Amino acid sequence: MAAVLDAVQELDHVGASPAGYWGMSMGCAPRPFIAAEPRIRAAVLGLRGGDLAEAAATDHRPVEFLCSGT
């Protein structure tokens, strides 16, 4: 994932600006990467069970969780 972020930030129209992350269901799996990567400044995660809120409690960036009604 770091290599993808590196490649995107090499694009002229993106540059070294902060990045955001959006992940649904299995897209929530890279939570450790998201929490450890300082270039990711905000995240939207959701539609996955488990400990999303607990995992986010250690991260101090804006994180939005989308939850299903089940």
The reported pLDDT for the residue numbered 63 is 74
Question: Of 48, 47, 49, 21, which is closest to residue 35 (Cα–Cα)?
Answer: 21
Give the residue, 25 or 49, on which the prediction is more confident: 25
Residues of the chain above pLDDT 70, percent: 76
Asked if pLDDT for residue 22 goes beyond 70, the answer is yes
Whether residue 21 contacts residue 34, with contact meaning beta carbons closer than 8 Å, is answered with yes
What are the tokens at 35? 């929490």
The reported pLDDT for the residue numbered 48 is 63
Full-model pTM: 0.68
> Cα Rg for the chain, rounded, in angstroms?
13
